[in-house]
Structure 1
Amino acid sequence: MRLPRWLVAPPPSVGLEIAEDRVTAVAVSRTDTSTTITAHAVVPLADGLVRPALATPNIEDRDTVARAVGEALAASGRPRRVALVVPDAATKVSLLRLEQVPSRSEDFDQLVRWQMKKTAPFPIEEAQVSVTRGVSLAEGGAEFVVTLIRRDIVSEYEAVCRQAGAHAGIVDMATFNLVNLVLLTERSIAAPSADGPPEQPLAPASAVVGLRDWMLVNMSPSSTSIAIVRGADLIFFRNRPIERGDDLADHVHQSRMYYEDRLGGEGLARVFLTGAVDRNRLVSALRDVESRLERRIEPLDVRKAAALPDRIMVAPELVGALAAPVGLVLREAA
């Protein structure tokens, strides 16, 4: 049953991201004709306060992080509800192929958990599991995007929000909401999926037109995520920690080769790069990846989805910090 709109709580208008080096809050205002960022704040975090990980506690000092959350929210209108973005490195994303999809939801859930139990880095009974239908297989069946995060780790992030006076009504990972932003702003990329479920972690496919493959590279201080999307369906995802001597361009090139050799890729229509990192690192990454792939790499610009007041001058690192929380707010409002 679908409730009338006056009985349904509106989606949060403030996005909050708790990253390893900062807390970002963004207030978004929408009308029938425009979307605007009305307020934002980025509060730096000292090294070690947030350590994204799959199987160990993520927040070292909850009181300090909660104060940073409170400071960011105070600059964004002190909302009571927020859409919360957590680091990619706190989650495990898998692409699960099923030749036959059970018709009963209980059987489907049990099958997914049984399959994920084989590779989960922690007991599946401790996991919060999100499942989204992806591409349909030519031989029947479908591929599913399965995201795992330990419940106690989700609780850590939710707890610092509560301590700061806000309820995290929606929780999602960073890169999925950068994908949302692309889908909502680059309308030449993706097309609707005929058999997708009514609720998706990615943006509604009906918001875009066309059907092409594209890549998104998301840089964070200690890891890099690479997503390849076919239209509006995720077909490849990898998050890996940054180690001494790592070459981002090599990782991107290896991902492209896997896409072409193993996924039947016929070429990437677009490649986007983003990250809330310093300007020099971002510019260097753009240059290196362009050189390695021998093509233009596009910086992802949140201002295509939500305008900033003219008086605000935005540094590239701020554009990167605002992107994921704006993407989550707009996904929920779409």
Structure 2
Amino acid sequence: MIEAVTYRQGIYKSNFVRKVALWLDAQAHPPIAIEIAPDRISGARFTRTGSLDGFAVEALPPGAIVPSAVETNIVNAAAVRTAMDGVCERLRAKSEVAALLLPDTVIRVFVQHFEQFPRSAKEAVPMLRWKLKKSVPFEVDETLISYMRQA
């Protein structure tokens, strides 16, 4: 499989143009990533260059987190808070932006097609809730909806 970097080296003859293209394609990544799993909370801190700056793992007691898209996920809030506090303290994370990784069973992803889609979130979110209402086995009004426009 050809990676994007290798592919672009053939397209862009100029090293400068190649670097600008890679820079434009790069998305800003938070310096911290935290994973919540049924048996642990783990985290990593990265430097600006992408090197690992630190990591932490805190075990959770059995049953503290039960991943589900329709039921309560955090069963033992005190244990989860203690583990999260421990990970954040060891990563020196106070009020920084972090990427949050959740179990697959917690998240639902849908691809919806629209003839016209509102430009403002104020109009888009109610439309998405209405469209999803018959497609999900839980109360749509109690969910967090995020979306990304394509094309």
TM-score (norm 2): 0.69
1:124 maps to a residue whose letter is V
User: Offset of 1:109 from its aligned partner?
Assistant: 3.3
Q: Deviations over 1:108-163 (max 9, x none)?
A: 433322110111222221121111124xxxxxxxxxxxxxxxxxxxxxxxxxxxxx
Aligned counterpart, 1:101: 116
1:85 and 2:101 matched: yes
SS of match in other structure, 2:116: coil
> More strand by proportion, 1 or 2?
1
SS of match in other structure, 1:70: helix
Q: Deviations over 1:44-83 (max 9, x none)?
A: 2222110011121111111111111122222212433342
Q: Where in structure 2 are there 5+ consecutive unaligned residues? A: 1-27
Equivalent residue for 1:68, pick from 83, 86, 95: 83
User: Offset of 1:88 from its aligned partner?
Assistant: 2.1
Aligned counterpart, 2:126: 110
Rounded Cα–Cα distance in structure 1 between residues aligned with 2:81 and 2:123: 40
Quote the sequence identity (%).
Answer: 27
CA contact (8 A) 1:24 1:40 kept: yes
The alpha-carbon distance between structure 1 residues 107 and 59, as it changes in their structure 2 partners (threshold 3 A), is closer
Q: How many matched pairs?
A: 122
TM-score (norm 1): 0.34
Give the alignment of 1:5-154 within 5 angstroms: 12-30=30-48, 34-83=49-98, 84-98=100-114, 100-105=115-120, 106-134=122-150
Rounded Cα–Cα distance in structure 2 between residues aligned with 1:67 and 1:126: 26
Q: Deviations over 1:204-224 (max 9, x none)?
A: xxxxxxxxxxxxxxxxxxxxx
* Worse overlay, 83-92 or 15-24: 83-92
Aligned counterpart, 1:146: none
1:93 maps to a residue whose letter is V
The alpha-carbon distance between structure 1 residues 82 and 67, as it changes in their structure 2 partners (threshold 3 A), is farther
Larger Rg: 2
| TM-align CA RMSD | 2.3
Q: Where in structure 1 are there 5+ consecutive unaligned residues? A: 1-9, 135-194, 196-334
SS of match in other structure, 1:92: coil
Q: Deviations over 1:226-284 (max 9, x none)?
A: xxxxxxxxxxxxxxxxxxxxxxxxxxxxxxxxxxxxxxxxxxxxxxxxxxxxxxxxxxx
